[in-house]
Structures are given as C-alpha cells and as structure tokens.
Amino acid sequence: MVLLRYCILAFLLAASGIAAAQTTGLIVEPATGASAAILDPNGDGYVSATTAGFAGDDQLLANNELGWRTLIPAGSEPNSDVRNGPDCGFTDFVESTSGGIDPVFHLSTGTEWLFRFRMASIAPNAKSYSILVDIDNLIGPTDDCYIAGVNPGFELEIVLSTKFGVRIYDHRLACGSNLIASYGVDRIQKSIAASTVCSSINYFIEYYVDWSDLTTQFGIDENTAMRYAIVDNMAADKSTICNPSSASDIGGVDDTGCGNLESCFTDIIEEQPTCSPSATATCVYSDCPIISGLPLATGATSVSGTSTEADGTTIRLYVNGGLAGSTTVTGGGWTVSPITALAADDAVTATAQATGEVESGTNCNNVQVAGASCSDPVTSVNVCNANKAFTGVTTEVGATITLYDANGVVQNPTSGTVWNAGSSTITSTSVPSALSPTTDNFLWRCVGSGSTTSCTAGGGPCLTDGNYYLTTQNTGECESTPFWFCIGLSGSTATPTISTTITTATTSVTGTVPAPENIAGVLVILFNNGFEVGRTTTTAGGAWTINSLSFAACDVVTAQAIKTAATAKCPSVLSASQTVSGGTTATPTVSGSYCGTTATVSGTSTEDGATIEVFDDGVSAGTTTVSGGLWELTGLTIAQGSVITARATNSGGCKSVSALSSGVTVGTQNTNATTIDQNPLIESDVTITGTGTPSDVISLYIDGWPLYLDFAETSAASTTVTGGGTWSITLTDNTLYAGASVTVRSSNGSTCESTDQDPTPVNCQSPTLTLVVNPDNSVICTGTAVTNVEVESSQSGVIYQLLDGGTPTGSSKLGNGGTITLSTAPLSSNTTISVRAIKSPYDGSCTVTLNETVAVTVVSPPTIAYVTQSNPTTCGGTDGSITISGLQNNQSYTVNYTDDGSPTSGAFTSNGSGQIIITGLNAGAYTNISTTGLGCSSTNTLAGPFTLTQPNNTAGAGSSSPTLCVSTALTNITHTTTGATGISND
C-alpha cells in the first residue's frame, strides 16, 4: 500500500440516495468499440443523466443520458406471467410501477434505432429478446405474414441475442431463410434500473440496429408509422416467430390469460395507433367518448355525449363514415350541432382527441339511429269483450299499439288506456295493472271514449269476426313484427311444418300446412328469432316456399299458418323451432407429452369459447374452455399408461360435437434416484458429476429449462450413467450462472424422464478480497470528499462501491480489469472508508468487502490570528517575519498574502503550538494573509497591513564607509573629501 497524505480542493458530490450498495443507472455490462459512444455518449459508465443515478424515476427524460421514450403505449405488464422460465427472472418483463406502460423504450437518432427492455433480473446466459413490428397496419388472416396461433401479421422482428449479437428477420420470407442482417455483441449493454419490481433491483437491456439495413430491406425509415410488440424467448439466438414453443413473456399483456401468441399479440396491436419512431410524443389513443340520448331520433340535428378526457379535447362526429361536425369537451360534456338531419339507418360514431394524443378509434360508439332497430312485439293478447275490446302485454312501455285486420287495414280505437288517432299509446309503467289479467299493460277498445282500464262496454260489436294482428313501435324505431290473433272464429289453423334443414348457407325454406288446411291460399309467416323474415301463401296440397333468406348460426326459425279466406280460422300455434347449425366443431389437439401421474392436460383449438371435454381411457375426466386458442384442465389424476383424448363442442356457435382428438399415452415415469455431487455448484464450475442407476440417461436442467454444454445450445447437457453408477458432464462454455437452480432428470428406454431431482443452487464465484486500495489514509477538510480512492486490478463485471461505516457513499463504478478511482460523498467526521465488491446478479447475494481500507481524518478549517512580527535586521535584509496562530500542529500549509500589493504564497509547516512563522520577508507592507491546508482554507483573512521596516543606517557618524537605510528619495547630497591637496566639496 502507498502511504499518502495529500491536499484536495473542495468538491461537492451528491450522494446516491439509495439503500442498495450500487447506484441506479450504472452500466454493468458495457457496449464496446464504437457502440459504447452510441449507448453511453458521455462515457461515464452510467445511463442516467449523472453518476448520482436516476433520483428514483428512470422514466423522466431529464434523468436519462439519452432521450428514451415509451415504445408501446398499450396494455399493462404484470410480473410473474412467463410461459417458460423463472418468474421474476431474466425473461420477465416488468413495469416501473403498475400501469407504468414502460417495459420497453426506444429512441431513433436518424441513423440508429435504439431499444431498452426493463427486466426483473438479468443473468450472464444466452436468451433472445424481440421487437416485433407491424409495418403495413394489417393484422389477421388476410396478412401475408399470418401464422395461425403465432404471428398475426408482423413483417419485421429485431432480436437481441445475448452472447451472440443483434439480428434482423424478415417474416415475409420463410423461416430458415429470413435472417437478413446481423451485428456483434458490441451493441449490447446492461444497466441498473430504478424500479424494484419482484426484487430489490431491476435492469435495462439496451441495443440498437441501423436504419440503413431496415430501409434497404423493408423500405421504412424513422418517419414510417408502425405498430409494435415485444416478446422474449428462453432459447438462445432465436426468432420467436420461428420458434414459438420456447417463447417466455409478452410485454403489455397477462400471458397467463390472453391465450396463444397470436391472440396476445393481437390484443397489444389493437390497443395502439400507428406511430413513427421519430415521433416526439408517445402515441396513445384518447379514450372513446360516450354518445347520450339513445336511441337517436330520425331527423335529429344535434348529438350530445360525455368524455373522460380533459376539457378542450376535440370531439368529432361521423355519420356513415363521413365527418358531420366537431366540438370540444366542456365540463365533461359535448354537443355537436347543427348537423344534417339524421335519417333512418344512419350509423353515428363519435371520437375524441386530447392534446398530444391520437384520435380514438372510429369504432367507438357505433349507433344505429331511427329505423335501424325494430321494437319488440306484443307477447300476448286476451279478448276481453267479444268484437269490442282486448288487452295484452308488451315490454315496450310507451310504444304505440296498432291493430290491423287480416288485409292490413288499420282499425281505429276509441278508448283504452290512452287512445289517439287510430292507435293506442301505452302509458302504464308498471305491472300488474288495473286490467284483467293483472299482468296485461294495455287496453284497446273500439266502443266508448276516453281513458279507461275497463273492458265492459255496451253497444253492438265494432270488430267483425276474423284474424287480426298487432304491432308496437317506439319513437325512432321500426314497427315490430306482428302478433296474430282471432276474434269470433272457430278452430285454429293446422300447425305448419318446416321441411328444409336450415344452415348458414340456406336462402330458401320450404314446408307444408297439413290437413285440413292443405289447400291453396293459407297465409304462412316465417319468423327468425321472433321477427318476421318472410310470408307467402300455400299452393294446392298445402306446400309453401319462402325465398331470399339469410341465416346465421344459432338463429331460431319458426313458422305460423293463418287461414284467412273461405272459412277463416284462428292462427296456428308456432311450428316446432329449428336452430340453425354452425356445423361441426373443429377437432382439438392434446399438446405435448405426459409422464407419470398427470394432474394437468393442455392443448389447442381453433374455436375460442368452445367447451373441451378431456377423456382418460375413454372416461370423461372433466371440461374446460378454450381461450386464445389454448385450453388447460387441471386437478386431474391420470395414471401412467392411460390414453388422453379430447373433443370440443362450440355451443356458442351452435355446432355439433367434434371428432375425438388423437390420443396421447401417458408414459411410465422413471423413479430411479439421481443426485448431483456438488452442493452448491459454483458458477465457474465446468464439470458436474453425480450418481444414478447404471444405463440410465440423465439430463441437467437450469431454472426448469434444459441445460446445454454451450451457449449456442447445440449439445444438451446429457449423458449415460456408467456401470459404476456415476456420471460426469463437462460444459464447453461457462453456462452456469449465480442464483440459478440446477436439477437432474433420469430416463431409460422403457421410461420417460423422472421429476426434477436434487435441486442444487448455483452460487457465485466471490469477488477477490485482497485487491490493493490506495491510499492507506487521508486527511481532508470537513464537508469535502475523498476523491481519489483507487482500487488496483479491479475485476471486470464487478461493481465497486465505497462504504462509510457500512453505508454506501458516493457513486459506484464497474471494474474494468485495471485501476479504477472512486469518490466518497462529502464527509464531516473521522471515519474508515471500505470498498464493497458486488458481482452478478448484483442483488447483494454475491458481495464482499475488500480487506484494505482508507482511514480518513476530517479536520475543521482554521481561524488564524496575528501573533507578532519581526523587522529585517539589515538594510535590504530578508530576515523579517510574521507569526500567525490557530492552525493544526505540525501540518503543512500554503500561506497566501500580498507583499506591497503583489500576491505571494509559500509553503510552511506549523509548529507544535499550531503557529506558522512566515519567514524570508523584507521591509514592506503585508496584507490579506490566509492559509490553505488539509483541504481547508482558513475561515478568515488577516487584512493588515503588517509593516516591516529596516534600520536607518548600519554605521555611525564618522564611519569610514557610512550606509544609509531610508525609504524615501535623498536630495542635495554633498561629499567632502580630505586629501593631500586639501579639502574639496561636491
């Protein structure tokens, strides 16, 4: 060690402000070469604006060295939702806070496109992290890049492959031939984030690609509006679109509930507008506004509603896709007026656009106005006074009731609950009513006058015997389907039959009316879901056909016959209903393989919402539902050797049950004991040994994923147990990492793999304790910092942090293999500074404190005082002095002063009494005396003047060589010389 006592200038350094021993923003795996200047332009080893870290908020532009912006303004990203890999691990995307929408950032420089992922953790392993880009704003089966269950339509995938570099894939080309550009590992950088989701620390992984490569291949640049998604993959150096089975986490959705990759990606894409990488603001849809006063009336010239966006937000109203007018939000409400009068069947949509946001989708609040929907029909009619009055029930309270005879002629009421111009308008708002039955809520009479609820009426009949029908109609809606009934007739028409098996492709329906109405001229009405869709009359023999029809799956079709000619009869009852079939449900699949007693079975299906029934050797084991193309049934106990099958029923689509899936046989699980010798493993271990059953094949797993001999994953860590019951595997790359758990599974030709056995932790290779730390000690002034604490031969990838009595002080630095220099925060009292070394995973689990320390003496600045002075002893002499006090004993100082107005300084050492004698002074005036030493300047300045004088002469009168010491000019000097020739005077 070097013993050093030194002086430093005052330097104020903000403390990191975090309890962890490393500063947020610190780069823990730096980019190299030219890439370092792109990802860390100022070269300070931090991605935060300063070496003081993010100050608790790593989203703010002001807290970042680069101008990172949120890439995907859609969906919230939960933690612990990975498909493969460890929760809260190196493939688990996280947000800074719930709803922060910041698992990924980006930045375009015009030349490069940079990306930043926020991860729950990192590890020095080989995994893949992807940006997926929809270039053509087209998602779904019509897109050329569509892959069912996997890719809804991404053309571009940019992959960060840790340990390998950065890749660009073109998914307009077939997998295997679509890698169009590659870059080296120099473009990869990892740093410490400010968020702490899942654990005490999160991380950023950053990388970039060149726009020139994207422009050449895809014709896009930073001004092209696109949509984005992110996903990572447990496999090394892989495109997730081309390797979907090893996908781990999708950012912006809950992977545990959104279904297959295609479904999850679609959820993300549909929530975001297109946005160009050069956009300075985050592209986000404004909230959809709400249209009030539904249904909108035919002829309306204004539309009103509400909005959750701020006042001043622009509202645009579209009618049939065209802009009808606009306004702004005031007090949460809005009105667009005037507009062209609305017509029946007009489609009205309102959108919102707040400042700095994208106009909400035009699919907001589509509303069909007057005439677009019909009122519900009457549900029952009771003739309460023959040929004079009837009551009935409708759910459309407030609707107009209209009575027609069989020929369609309106019959005018004269009294009832309310009557008006040939119709009765219901005003009752509750049932039972005063009518009889008490469940009826309207009364129609053609005798008497005025409002009444009584059927009793005198006078003769005012309705002739025959068939009639009723309709209802709400304001702004079309007239309901008719409800037929009869007055004064005897018998009912025979119930018709429907002969056609109706499907979604059916356009014509046939049937018959049986005897005795198997004659020509009988009216037949066809109903679809209770609404009339067609009518005709029978031909001779009772046959009937209705054409120009269309049906959807699950429509319910019925028919009614009414004999209105010759000897009229009452309407028939409705025919037997026929539900329109959606066809046969697609056959599901049982995914994967199963080994040992099985508790969970999963699979796929193309029909979301379908019910999956799982069978264990042909016996039903339970049901579950398809979501996002996936299904899973848990809580099972399916024995080894059983055959698992499944079938699906899409009752929501009115489909028949599917065929049975192909069977998957549950394998017999190996139960032989297998162990790992080392416990714990060390991340630097290359060879792993253990015991097992001779001839068994054993395979190693790390964090539940297959362990490979190499980062490229070309050879699995697997071997055969020797005849002596031992096994050994040698890794070709250092693929173990601290914090992982390694397990072993065994199998043989007749059994499938055992469960994970002997979980063994992987510990870190601790940092070196014996590094040289300089200096041994330091003396500084209170309120200043020790700025040159050196750590020699620092280890690359290890973070070094100074500690003041165990508390972090100053900013941490990353070791680089050479000497690094750290600084403390300002200190105010004597202390001992130690150095903490922190190694990956940087969460405190691999941390040591170096053996060597720095003893720091902290002194207070002196207040100096004048003591005495001494004049020079000879004319022109320089042995004058001034003595000052108030200093540390026996310490070196610099003394500053002015000598006859000229600034002067000198180095002096205080004596055992804390005094300095400023020596070597000539005659003159000395002012502004101050000191600097031990990093401290004196608190005061001795202004003076302190005047030193010299004697007037050095020889008395009559001396043979007189010397005068004066401080003013001499005049009229005479010289007398006595010589041989006499006396002369000058």
Q: Which of 103-107, 117-121, 272-276, 831-835 has the weakest average pLDDT?
A: 272-276
Angle at 982 between CA 980 and CA 986, to 5 degrees: 115
Per-residue pLDDT of 258-271, as tens digits, reads: 999 999 999 999 88
Per-residue pLDDT of 443-479, as tens digits, reads: 898 888 888 888 887 888 899 999 999 998 887 677 8
Per-residue pLDDT of 543-584, as tens digits, reads: 999 999 999 999 999 999 999 988 999 999 999 999 999 999
Please, which residues have CB within 8 angstroms of residue 374's CB and are 6 or more apart in sequence?
477, 478, 479, 480, 481, 531
Please, which residues have CB within 8 angstroms of residue 971's CB and are 6 or more apart in sequence?
none
Query: For the chain, what's the residue count?
Result: 986
What would the mean pLDDT of 852-873 be, rounded to a whole number?
Answer: 94
CA-nearest of 556, 410, 570, 423 to 493 is 570
Per-residue pLDDT of 90-119, as tens digits, reads: 999 999 987 788 999 999 999 999 999 999
Report the pLDDT value the prediction gives residue 479, as an integer from 0 to 100. Answer: 83
Q: Which segments of 248-361 does DSSP mark as H helices, in order?
A: 261-270
Whole-number Å distance between alpha carbons of 848 and 871: 61
Report the pLDDT value the prediction gives residue 814, as an integer from 0 to 100. Answer: 96
Per-residue pLDDT of 375-384, as tens digits, reads: 888 989 998 8
Whole-number Å distance between alpha carbons of 106 and 85: 25
Q: Which of 33-42, 419-428, 930-939 has the weakest average pLDDT?
A: 419-428
Phi-psi region of 216 (alpha: psi -120 to 50; beta: other; left: phi over 0): alpha
What would the mean pLDDT of 951-963 be, rounded to a whole number?
Answer: 50
Q: Residue 841, Cα to own-chain centre: how many angstroms? A: 23
Report the pLDDT value the prediction gives residue 345, as an integer from 0 to 100. Answer: 79
Per-residue pLDDT of 600-658, as tens digits, reads: 999 999 999 999 999 999 999 999 999 999 999 999 999 999 999 999 999 988 999 99
Please, which residues have CB within 8 angstroms of residue 891's CB and are 6 or more apart in sequence?
909, 910, 933, 934
Q: Which amino acid is at 972?
A: N
Report the pLDDT value the prediction gives residue 431, as an integer from 0 to 100. Answer: 66
Report the pLDDT value the prediction gives residue 420, as an integer from 0 to 100. Answer: 56
Whole-number Å distance between alpha carbons of 274 and 73: 10
Pull the structure tokens for residue 296: 């909108």
Q: Which segments of 209-260 does DSSP mark as H helices, in order?
A: 211-218
* 367 has pLDDT over 90: no
Pull the structure tokens for residue 129: 């992290």
* 734 has pLDDT over 60: yes
Which 3 state secondary structure label does DSSP give 338?
A: coil
Per-residue pLDDT of 478-512, as tens digits, reads: 788 899 999 999 999 999 999 999 999 999 999 99
* 833 has pLDDT over 50: yes
Report the pLDDT value the prediction gives residue 284, as an integer from 0 to 100. Answer: 85
Whole-number Å distance between alpha carbons of 947 and 949: 7
Report the pLDDT value the prediction gives residue 448, as an integer from 0 to 100. Answer: 84
Q: Which of 9-18, 150-159, 825-834, 916-925 has the weakest average pLDDT?
A: 9-18
Distances (CA, A) of 504 to 557, 618, 653, 656: 12, 33, 11, 14
Whole-number Å distance between alpha carbons of 948 and 175: 94
* 432 has pLDDT over 50: yes
* 397 has pLDDT over 80: no
pLDDT band at 154 (very low <50, low <70, confident <90, very high): very high
| Residue 910: CB atoms within 10 Å | 22
Please state the φ and ψ torsions of residue 35, each to the nearest 5 degrees: -65, -30
Q: Which amino acid is at 66?
A: L
Report the pLDDT value the prediction gives residue 796, as an integer from 0 to 100. Answer: 95
CA-nearest of 463, 445, 459 to 387 is 463
Strand partners, 232: 129
Pull the structure tokens for residue 554: 């699950």
pLDDT band at 55 (very low <50, low <70, confident <90, very high): confident
Report the pLDDT value the prediction gives residue 86, as an integer from 0 to 100. Answer: 94
Which 3 state secondary structure label does DSSP give 208?
A: strand
Whole-number Å distance between alpha carbons of 204 and 117: 5
Whole-number Å distance between alpha carbons of 23 and 40: 16
Q: Residue 766, Cα to own-chain centre: how many angstroms? A: 35
Whole-number Å distance between alpha carbons of 383 and 392: 9
Please, what is the average pLDDT of the chain?
A: 90
Report the pLDDT value the prediction gives residue 427, as an integer from 0 to 100. Answer: 66
